[in-house]
Structure 1
Amino acid sequence: MSKLFLDLVGQECKIIFLGGLAEVKGIILDIDDNWVKLKLRKKDKVRLIKLRFVSSILLKENT
């Protein structure tokens, strides 16, 4: 796993799905080569997101 991925753990971010169809905001709990585990900002739910459906991950400074 790349160091860039590891640096994202614990960061608040916005994840945009392919084509900008949807976006979610939250805190990245874990990330690997296939999945992102995200704690949703407005709910206390944890969501697993496949990386192949993600077009961008923007950190809080950019959201």
Structure 2
Amino acid sequence: MSVVQDWARLEAGDRVVVIDDGVESPAIVAAKMDDSTVVWVLGAAGRHRRAIDYREGVVLVPT
């Protein structure tokens, strides 16, 4: 199943839950592309930065 999300309303500093392959992880939006197709998130501990493309099937849920 393919999940495509519109992340246009997310802003740097927003808290989200990243759901990837059924695993939920709290994170903070660090940055995003102007067209909102890629979002960088920091893990809750701030040690891991990850770029997520909207076509990857990863879900970001604002909290």
Moved over 3 A (4+): none
Structure 1: any 5+ residue segments left out of the alignment?
none
Q: TM-score, normalised by structure 1?
A: 0.60
1:52 aligns with 2:52: no
Q: TM-score, normalised by structure 2?
A: 0.60
> 1:30 — aligned with what?
31
Report the structure, 1 or 2, having the larger helix content: 1
Aligned residues: 55
Report how far residue 39 of structure 1 moved: 0.7
> 2:22 — aligned with what?
21
Structure 2: any 5+ residue segments left out of the alignment?
1-6
User: What root-mean-square deviation, in Å, do the aligned CA atoms of Structure 1 and Structure 2 show?
Assistant: 2.3
8 Å CA contact 1:15, 1:54 repeated in 2: no
* Structure ranking higher on relative contact order (CA contacts 8 Å, 6+ apart): 2
* Amino acid in structure 1 at the alignment position of 2:26: K
